[in-house]
Amino acid sequence: MDVNETPELATFRAEVRDWIETRVPPQLKGLRQSIVQGPGLSHEELQPYNEALADKGWLAPHWPKEHGGAGFTIPQLVIFNEECAKAGVPDRHTTGLDMLGPILIKYGTPQQQEQFLDRILHDRMIWAQGYSEPEAGSDLAGLQLRAEVRDDSFVLNGQKIWTSKAHKADWVFLLCRSDPKPKRKQEGISFILCEMNTPGITVRPIVTMDDFTHFCEVFFDNVVVPRENLVGELHKGWEVAKALLGHERFLHPTSNPLLIRNAINNLKSVARETPVGNGVAWDNSDLRRRVAALEMDCDGLLYTRYRSLTRIEHGAAPGPETMMFKLFGAEMMQRIIELHQEVEAQQGVVWDDTPQGNGPGETARHATNIRAATIRGGTSEVQRNIIAKRVLGLPD
């Protein structure tokens, strides 16, 4: 991928900037792209932004045009994300749009695509991701949610945990063990779509340290799911799961160098305004050195991301470097938030109930949430093991 823009890409960047300037409402610009998993903006608050995207045909920039997307090339998608991040417009990342949608486009049946894609595109249904279990987190292949295979259905029994927004979701896509005695634990797993109001499903919300309820436990007790809700081949769901995790790690806020750069810039802005002695916090040379190190790391993540985008642009699947994004980005965000709290001192532990706002009290809520970033989606220790084997070629 050539990061030096062609005249065509420069024209496209100007088009994106003009659209943001003229079509995105003022109240939906200049927002901090919060990493807090709180309620965020309501559907009503986001409606003008969604309408502007729909009018332009940009509701799903990364989807192909034949499925209602914008059909952006990889360089166009990078430019679009860059300009949106710079302008502070809402991040329209949803589980359905960014994770399930591309999977249904690749693996779904025509019936599944017809049933779900348009509703996902226009934000008319909420999806949850049913992956983690009490004994299967980083080691996802150890999952035990049982799917008894019948002629026309599956019968689910077991539990999922840390299921984001399950208490609000209309549907859940999940991994289940359809073959109880596989040769390898990655085999015998199926990828299934399940409606949340199906009899036998019980949802218990979990209140986390940041005082939000975004995680849930989900219990399945003889839940019957139609056979046509299977995505991909029976017992071959691990292939689908790996493809989906590649999308998740690419699109998650803590993996996005543009949002990380925004967090660094916000830290610098606060440091320049925070009184310390006869000056401000930014006068401290050690602080400036630590911020410069963060900026260099962020640039390294950005160009590694470009390398992965080049693979995708050439028709290859996202490589194992996507695990670097999750690992490196999550640990970098922890460093930023910790340094931010150092700069704010007492103010850094003040609680703020407006995670989409620009108040200084957002930092404390960020700090409680970011501790989980190196655990969810695969712990840093597991990611390092995988990178050592699959990227560096080190022996087991």
Q: How many CB atoms lie within 10 A of CB 2?
A: 9
User: What values do phi and psi take at 136, rounded to 5?
Assistant: -150, 85
Q: Which two tokens stand for residue 310?
A: 């080049």
**Whether residue 342 lies in the annotated active site:** no
User: Six-digit token pair at 179?
Assistant: 């073959």
Token pair belonging to 387: 């990178």
Pair of tokens at residue 183? 């040769």
What is the biggest distance separating any 2 CA atoms in the chain, rounded to whole angstroms?
77
335 token code pair: 């460093």
SS (H, E, C) 356-391: CCCCCCHHHHHHHHHCCCCCCCCCHHHHHHHHHHHC
Helix axes 257-273, 285-313, angle to 10 degrees: 160
* Nearby residues of 202 by Cβ (< 8 Å), 6 or more positions away: 218, 219, 221
| List 83, 133, 248, 362, catalytic entry | 248
- Neighbouring residues of 180: CB distance < 8 A, sequence distance ≥ 6: 146, 188
Using an 8 Å Cβ cutoff, are 23 and 54 in contact?
Answer: no
Question: Which helix (H) or strand (E) covers residue 266, if one does?
Answer: helix 257-273
Rg (CA), the chain: 22
Catalytic center residues:
248
